[in-house]
Amino acid sequence: MAQISTADFKNGMMVDLDDGLFQIVEFQHVKPGKGGAFVRTSLRNVRSGGVVERTFRAGEKMERAIVDRREMQLLYRDGDDYVFMDNSTYDQLNVPTATLGDAANYLVDAAGAQLLMYGDEIIGVELPASVELDVAETEPGEKGDRVSGAKKPATLVTGKVVQVPLFINQGERIKVDTRTGEFISRA
């Protein structure tokens, strides 16, 4: 493992501490008038998602976590698991639904995603900013349903329910923002 000091900190960097794997959200070097310098940080626990405030002495050493980003493609669902294929090695990997978290709401067969790997453990999933999904079920649009800003619920093929404009009908393909889960436009 690579040793780093507090002088090497950058936002987004991963560090392996005694109590878990953390991502640096933000940090600030502080040099008070009296005493030694220190670094005040906000760290996000990669596994639980919780954010903690931590203070380190200036120059303190710790392990840098090397996180591998792998381009993967979803092949199919196998019970509660999603089966991904590595785009470079063509190896297949079974991923439990719980590991994917909210990303499972945007994945359909042949969808691409980046899996964040720490050793053999999947610690996160990065999706494109938006995906195109089919509307599986929604109330039919009536002629004249053109009220500006009016919305109705629509269930997508993945099971996710999003609010869409009244003119969207069942079977249409729409674009959804993966960060907020909101309707963007027709595809």
User: What is the rounded distance in angstroms from the CA atom of residue 83 to the CA atom of residue 92?
Assistant: 7
Question: Mean pLDDT, the chain, as a whole number?
Answer: 88
pLDDT one-digit tens code per residue, 138-158: 888 766 656 667 888 999 999
Is the per-residue pLDDT at 27 higher than 90? yes
Domains of the chain listed by start with CATH number: 2-64 (2.30.30.30), 68-126 (2.40.50.140), 130-186 (2.40.50.140)
For the whole model, what pTM was predicted?
0.73
Average pLDDT estimate for 84-107: 89
Give 83's pLDDT tier (boundaries 50, 70, 90).
Answer: very high
Is the per-residue pLDDT at 160 higher than 70? yes
